[in-house]
Amino acid sequence: MPNDTGLRNWRHGLFAAGEAVLDVFFPPRCPGCGRVGSTFCDRCQARIEPPTAPACIRCGHPTVAEQLCPTCRETPSALDRIASSAIFAHPLRDAIHDLKYNDGRNLARPLGARMAVSWQQGGFTADLIMPVPLHAARLAERGYNQAALLARVLSQSVGVPIDETAIVRQRATLQQAKLKAVERRENVKDAFAARRTDLTGKNIALIDDVCTTGSTLEACAQALRAAGAASVWAFTLARARWEPGYAGPAPDADDFRLSPASGGVAVRESA
Ligand SMILES: [Zn+2]
Ligand SMILES: [Zn+2]
């Protein structure tokens, strides 16, 4: 597999010329193991873990039925639910890592297609699909928003319009690791703003690659609800596995993860 920077840049140039051309020179590969194929190979497909079931429809805590857990029932939220296509674990975890950090934007198609299958299986509906925005500085650094790439594929596949500009990340958030749950909520509070004002009555599906504790999704949802959205829920490619010690449906998604070493507290990923 060619790997030098020049060739990769050349490859990205070719994207503009059409993916059909790319397929001839660079056949699509399994996002999990790299073997040639249009999507996850059978072996990787079999290893992807479906979401825990039954579980709380918002925080993912294992429950006896698909409904809000007692904690979530007591905790007001702008999100009706958080659904995911799989557990954040190998091989999906590796594919998401490549998508975000190894310039793997070509993985958005098979990963977005996977989300579309889960969406249809779940019988989900929305008036609008909205990717969680990156802060402008992060977007400039990475060159693309992985959530937007996934949301575009999903939007095309399920026939729900996408809006990539209605919500903006108006400030970068602080490192959350050392903050308590309440402080984390404060940290991402007002980090997002809705620019569209005609959201009244809309059922909006927020899209992201990974949900950890859900606070970024919650902050986005609050901005959308404040702009008049009738309902907001979130759909992510993957979701962190529930870990004992994790104290509830509070703050943080996106670039945070749960670490056993931190006692189940959400900590920020290095990149
Ligand atoms: Zn594979
Ligand atoms: Zn819950």
pLDDT tens, position by position, 207-220? 999 998 888 899 99
pLDDT the model gives residue 175: 52
What are the residue ranges spanned by the domains of the chain?
52-268
Which tokens go with 244?
């004992």
Identify the burial level of 169 via C-beta atoms within 10 angstroms of its C-beta, where 0-12 means exposed, 13-18 middle and 19 or more buried. Answer: buried
Q: Report the C-alpha gap between 96 and 129 in whole angstroms.
A: 20
DSSP code at position 49: P
Q: What is the pTM of this model?
A: 0.79
Residue-wise pLDDT tens digits, 115-134? 999 999 999 999 999 999 98
Q: Which listed ligand is nearest to 213 at the C-alpha?
A: 2
Q: Which CA distances in Å does 51 have to 67, 136, 144, 157, 267?
A: 14, 31, 27, 21, 22
More confident site: 94 or 6: 94
Cα–Cα–Cα angle for 38, 269, 102, rounded to 5 degrees: 35
Mean pLDDT along residues 68-82? 93
Identify the burial level of 260 via C-beta atoms within 10 angstroms of its C-beta, where 0-12 means exposed, 13-18 middle and 19 or more buried. Answer: exposed
State the DSSP H helix or E strand holding residue 235, giving kind and residue range, or none if neither.
strand 231-239
The CATH architecture one would assign to domain 52-268 is 3-Layer(aba) Sandwich (3.40)
> Does residue 248 come out as left (phi exceeding 0), alpha (psi in the -120 to 50 range) or beta?
left
Q: How far is the CA of 19 from the centre of ligand 1 (A)?
A: 21
Q: How far is the CA of 40 from the centre of ligand 1 (A)?
A: 5
Q: How far is the CA of 33 from the centre of ligand 1 (A)?
A: 4
State the DSSP H helix or E strand holding residue 238, giving kind and residue range, or none if neither.
strand 231-239
Q: Which listed ligand is nearest to 67 at the C-alpha?
A: 2
CB 82, CB 60: distance < 8 Å: yes
Residue-wise pLDDT tens digits, 155-171? 999 999 999 999 998 87
Instruction: Please give all residues whose CB falls under 5 A of ion ligand 1, grouped by chain where several chains appear.
Output: 30, 32-33, 41, 44
List the one residue out of 47, 40, 69, 32 whose CA is nearest residue 242. 69
Q: How far is the CA of 181 from the centre of ligand 1 (A)?
A: 38
Q: Which listed ligand is nearest to 39 at the C-alpha?
A: 1
Q: How far is the CA of 106 from the centre of ligand 2 (A)?
A: 34
